[in-house]
Amino acid sequence: MTKRTPTGVAQKLEKLGLGRRTLLRGVLAGTTVAVGLPALDLFLNESGTAYAGGVGLPTRFGIFFFGNGVIPSVWNPPLGRSIAPDTYEWEARGMLEPLADVKSLCSVVSGTKVLTTNTNPHLSGPAGLFAGADLVDGTFVDKSIDQRIADEIGDTRFRSLQVGVQPSDFCHSMTGPAMVNPPETNPFALYERIFGAGFRLPGEVGMVDPRLGLRRSVLDAVSDQTTRLQRRVGAADRARLDQHFTGIRELELQLARLEEDPPMLDACARPVMPEADYPDIEGRPQLELKNRAICDLLVMAMACDQTRVFYDMFSQSVNNMLFLDAVSGHHQLTHDEPDPQPEHERIVRFIVSQFAYLVSAMQAVREGDGTLLDHSAVLFTTDCSLSRTHALDDYPMVIAGNASGALRTNVHYRSPSNENASKVALTLMNAVGVTAAEYGFGEAHTRDSLGAIET
Amino acid sequence: MRRLRTEARTTLVSLLALSGCLGACLGAEEPFYPPQPGELTPRTFEPAPSGLRRLTRSQYLASVRATFGDAIVLPRLANLEPDTPVEGLLASGTTVTTISPRGVEQYESAAYDIAEQVMEPGVREALVTCAPVAPRDTACASTSLGPIGRSLFRRDLTAEELAEVTEVAAHAGETLGDFYDGLEFGIATLLQSPSFLFREELGSPSDPADPEHLRYGGHELAGRMAYFLWNAPPDALLLDAADEGLLEDDEGVRAEAVRMLADPRARDGVRVFVEDWLALRELDRMVKDPTVFVHASPDVGPAAREETVRVFTNLVFDEEADIRTVMSSRVTFLDRRLAAIYEVRAPREDFGRVELPADGPRRGLLGQVGVLAPNAHPTATSPTRRGAFLRERLLCDRVPQPPANVDTAIPEPSPDARTLRERLVAHQEVAACASCHVFLDNAGFGLEGFDSLGRTRTVENGAPIDAHGEIDGVAYDDAIGLADFVEHSPRFPQCLATHAYRVAVGRHETEGEAGELRRIYTRFANGGYLFRDLMVEIVVSRAFREASPPSDEEVTP
């Protein structure tokens, strides 16, 4: 039975006293009964800024991804003063110039290599970095890193959130092979999902809707049906239903969270409702406005502790969007534009500026003695290094945030030896509180993290 | 499950790793259809494993509509778990993908939205025929939920299932003080159940002595047939036929299939097939530069999809024509936008019938925006992409992933090489690239007379367009010659049949099904290539109706 409750969602419900049908017993015929439940603020000290008992605020993990790669010679900042072996000061130049204002909050990692067999020009890189292995049957062999992290630290209303700016159904965030978590790319829908009906601000008194309990009883019945169906199918379908089951239990947990008093977090506020639509103008998507809207919601979702893990798919691999005033699609430019590819460079600089917006927005949220960004690690990366050849060496990575003090910021680590990029993944997992001794499979396997960017 | 495609790809991948692109583009995918039927020793038929198929978005909506009627407002497509293509087909995604946590939220929200509507006074009478005596009335709840469950699950609910959902509804009725409010929760349970969201096509042994050989039971087979032929759940007639045992033999299945294909719903089945086969979904998010193309707008993509579907369904249902003529037909269906792009007079009504001029350069599938535009760049054409489309989707040639670690740059326009075609010569002269680029580009050059959006053109950068080429040793002059090659290649109808089979079963064919596929194809060909015959032969085939037990071995990374 334990096998049927992956990620321990059931145990979490149990811990909260929200075992099967518990709540329902408190809801009586025809009467609206507000059921008091353990509130998260029990764990906070009086100022509401830090967990009691000296434990710090939660650490978050995120990925901000864009498609189509870079030009490493223009992306990598020139090596500044050496401050440790292979570790340098850095200046925001070239493609990373838009990070100038937040540079001290970020570290650059260059010169590592994603050690997967490069069989799929825009997916082998993400497969190696995010799932640690070659593609098998065109998909990841295992759940992606954000989901592994969410298993450990995703004990919030949303175990994780997947968002994006370019409309698409694909995301590297996967709960297993071919089990994609589609990104929400409509800001209004994202707002509704997080801050719509049922959401309460810290301190906001609300009558608990008896329908919440009834909805949980429905989900309870649906999970029973799922478990029964699992007994009648083969292993592959059982795994599919396992994922479905997990989703159902997660929704039960979400509803239970809505019945609790919301966590007392100073920075939590209801964000401004985004536009209903961001239509293309003259065939060009309103990327900047949409990115702001998505980032603002994401940041507030974390400030209100509605989630601690996100995957932001800013643009898709192989996307041919018309950025800025470019005359050709981005992917086509990466291949066809003659050197030194000024249009491609301009587009990547624009994307870096969009990441810089997210970093600034996270830095602007005060939390305890620091900021939301201080309690986060956000990996900024793409699907290959040199776009034109889809190379996997010298993989472009920037990490924002110090993960509550676990990561070193404001440095540029440049590997002289094509080190395994999995080391960075292992470092990130450990930094946000996941105890892992190794990362990756086969060639990409590592037991070493990247000490140079750890504190 | 053994998938030919996967095995083939593995070999190809190792090949690529050794030699870059060299030698990777070899031609036809698998010799399922030898030139002389019966040339190969027919293998023993080995049915493929049974399993669950997730409802696509449109199947979900059709199922809700079939159960609750046409009056209800359906959830928006964007608010349902997306369909995910696997191996190029959404249909193949249905046997592999699952429902994400966000999808669970979306189905929940849709379930309450639907349940609330159908419990409105004036609507609910169709579903609740008993008079509830109390907010908690298990008898009336059970009587109402049984038939709804049967319709949604495509089978009768087990006693346990019915008791469970009845208790949910009765308890909710008691809590909320209203029977109908309570019933909403019962209906919402059914709408979120995996037995609704997944089609249970599990099969069972027809002979207890042979547990490895499964057949799809009457209701399972009815579901398989209906979702393939109609993209909708089975109707009462089909379920009755199943209950009467009429789907046990070839003749019964054939008779039902013929009836279903005469029903207007069959157009939905064919529509979904065409959209999946030609990947027309790409048209919804197509990017074209409107500063270059005055005719480009977000509406052009969906309009082009409609055109391509209508041309196909017209040949299937109205003309009852040899489906290969889809490559050369001058009859099409246009709205004003497409008519402007095609430079013909717009029909009086949108998507009215238009006959393209006999002496014009445009005819058939390869002259449609739905094929030309998505397989090109936002401003430039792409003989490579168009060639890959033609190879993969029309001829079932194997097209590998472009190689990694190869410099893909093409020279800028120069006085010596003004057109894209001239610039692409670079790819044909480097040995590592030539294998694939000769294979792909030479198939795509024929469409260079159409720009990125699909308008005709005769010059590019001031240089005349050259659209001649050679495909598989056959020379052609232009798009019409290229289309003629495809139309008369035996691989085209074979490829069409292969795709129809893949859509029908939601996966690639297996080796053990080769004989059955050959039989399906032969009958399709002998009957004069009527697409409806093909659909009938698919559902009558043993490959569609029989199965083997799925593996019970856990997969570990």
pLDDT in tens, B365-394: 999 999 999 999 998 999 999 999 999 999
DSSP H or E stretch at residue B185: helix B179-192
Tokens of B204: 């069972």
Query: B43 falls in which pLDDT band (50, 70, 90)?
Result: low
Q: How many domains does chain B have?
A: 3
What DSSP string runs through A368-400? TTEETGGGEEEEEE-S-SBTTTT--SS--EEEE
Flag whether A36 is in a domain.
no
What is the per-residue pLDDT across A159-201, written as a single tens digit (0 to 9) for each?
999 999 999 999 999 999 889 999 999 999 999 999 998 899 9
Mean pLDDT of B129-137: 96
User: In this structure, are A22 and A117 located in the same domain?
Assistant: no
Q: How far is A199 from A261, CA to CA, in rounded Å?
A: 10
Flag whether B303 is in a domain.
yes
User: In this structure, are A344 and A422 located in the same domain?
Assistant: yes
Q: Which residues of A touch B408 (CB under 8 A)?
A: 335, 388-389
User: In this structure, are B345 and B298 located in the same domain?
Assistant: yes
User: In this structure, are A178 and A95 located in the same domain?
Assistant: yes
User: In this structure, are B186 and B252 located in the same domain?
Assistant: no
Flag whether A300 is in a domain.
yes
What is the per-residue pLDDT across B167-187, written as a single tens digit (0 to 9) for each?
999 999 999 999 999 999 999
What is the per-residue pLDDT across A83-114, written as a single tens digit (0 to 9) for each?
999 999 999 999 999 999 999 999 999 999 99
Q: Considering only residues 379 to 438 of chain B, which have any Cβ-Cβ distance to chain A shorter than 8 Å?
A: 379-380, 401-412
A–B: how many Cβ contacts below 8 A?
Answer: 232
At B403 the pLDDT is 76
**Among B311, B339, B374, residue at a domain's last position:** B374
**Domain limits for position B293:** 266-277+287-374
Mean pLDDT of A7-33: 40
Flag whether B315 is in a domain.
yes
Could you identify the residue written with the tokens 């610039």?
B423
User: In this structure, are A114 and A225 located in the same domain?
Assistant: no
Tokens of A2: 């334990």
Tokens of B163: 């008791």
User: In this structure, are A316 and A439 located in the same domain?
Assistant: yes
Q: How far is B245 from B252, CA to CA, in rounded Å?
A: 9
Phi/psi of residue A380, nearest 5 degrees: -110, 115
- Is A394 touching B (CB cutoff 8 A)? no
**Quick check: helix, strand or coil at residue B223?**
helix
Q: Which site among B97, B192, B427 would you substitute to test the A interface, given the most A Cβ atoms closer than 10 Å to its Cβ?
A: B192
Q: Considering only residues 211 to 270 of chain A, which have any Cβ-Cβ distance to chain B shorter than 8 Å?
A: 211, 213-215, 217-219, 221-222, 224-226, 228-229, 232-237, 239-241, 243-244, 246-248, 250-251, 254
Query: Are the C-beta atoms of B81 and A179 separated by less than 8 Å?
Result: no
User: In this structure, are A121 and A250 located in the same domain?
Assistant: no
DSSP H or E stretch at residue A255: helix A235-259
Query: Are the C-beta atoms of B463 and B422 separated by less than 8 Å?
Result: yes
Flag whether A32 is in a domain.
no
Query: Are the C-beta atoms of B106 and B81 separated by less than 8 Å?
Result: yes
Q: How far is B557 from B178, CA to CA, in rounded Å?
A: 50
**Among B374, B390, B415, residue at a domain's last position:** B374
- CA-based radius of gyration for chain A: 22
Query: B336 falls in which pLDDT band (50, 70, 90)?
Result: very high
User: In this structure, are A435 and A372 located in the same domain?
Assistant: yes
User: In this structure, are A66 and A130 located in the same domain?
Assistant: yes
Q: How far is CA A202 from CA A190, A261, A268, A272, A307, in A?
A: 20, 7, 7, 17, 15
Flag whether A108 is in a domain.
yes
Q: Which residues of A touch B410 (CB under 8 A)?
A: 335-336
Contacts of A167 (CB under 8 A, 6+ apart): A185, A186, B285
Q: How far is B137 from B144, CA to CA, in rounded Å?
A: 11
Nearest-CA neighbor of A311 among A384, A399, A379, A402?
A379
Flag whether A49 is in a domain.
no
Mean pLDDT of chain A: 88
Count of positions (residues) in chain A: 455
Mean pLDDT of A288-297: 97
- Is B108 touching A (CB cutoff 8 A)? yes
Query: B57 falls in which pLDDT band (50, 70, 90)?
Result: very high
Q: How far is B404 from A7, CA to CA, in rounded Å?
A: 36
Q: Is B14 a residue whose pLDDT tops 50?
A: no
Q: How far is A383 from A128, CA to CA, in rounded Å?
A: 10
Tokens of A37: 């439940």
At A164 the pLDDT is 97
Task: Give the chain A residue whose CA is nearest to the CA of B192.
Answer: A222
**Among A261, A296, A331, residue at a domain's last position:** A261
What DSSP string runs through B305-318? HHHHHHHHHIIIII
| ipTM higher than threshold 0.95 | no
DSSP character at residue B391: I
How many C-beta neighbours within 10 Å does residue B326 have?
26
At B34 the pLDDT is 43
Query: A17 falls in which pLDDT band (50, 70, 90)?
Result: very low
At A37 the pLDDT is 35
Q: How many domains does chain A have?
A: 2
Q: Which range (A51-65, B52-66, B145-159, B493-507) has the least confidence? A: A51-65
DSSP H or E stretch at residue A366: strand A366-367
Q: Which residues of A touch B185 (CB under 8 A)?
A: 214-215, 217-218
More confident call, A208 vs B363: B363
B142: Cα within 13 Å, side-chain hemisphere:
11
Flag whether A44 is in a domain.
no
User: In this structure, are A72 and A129 located in the same domain?
Assistant: yes
At B22 the pLDDT is 37
Q: What percent of chain B has pLDDT over 70?
A: 92
Query: Are the C-beta atoms of B85 and B97 separated by less than 8 Å?
Result: no
Q: How far is B192 from A375, CA to CA, in rounded Å?
A: 37
**Domain limits for position A392:** 57-199+270-453
Q: Is A182 within 8 Å of B103 when comparing Cβ atoms?
A: yes
At A56 the pLDDT is 66
Nearest-CA neighbor of B548 among B493, B508, B510?
B510
b/e code A310-327 from CB counts within 10 Å (16+ = b): bbbbbbbbbbbbbbeebe
**Quick check: helix, strand or coil at residue A265?**
coil
- Pick A182's closest partner by Cβ from B100, B379, B408: B100
- Pick A141's closest partner by Cβ from B17, B292, B557: B557
Q: How far is A48 from A43, CA to CA, in rounded Å?
A: 9
Contacts of A55 (CB under 8 A, 6+ apart): none
Q: Which amino acid is at B340?
A: A
Tell me the whole-structure pTM to 2 decimals.
Answer: 0.89
Q: Is A296 a residue whose pLDDT tops 50?
A: yes
Distance from CA of B309 to the nearest CA of A (A): 23
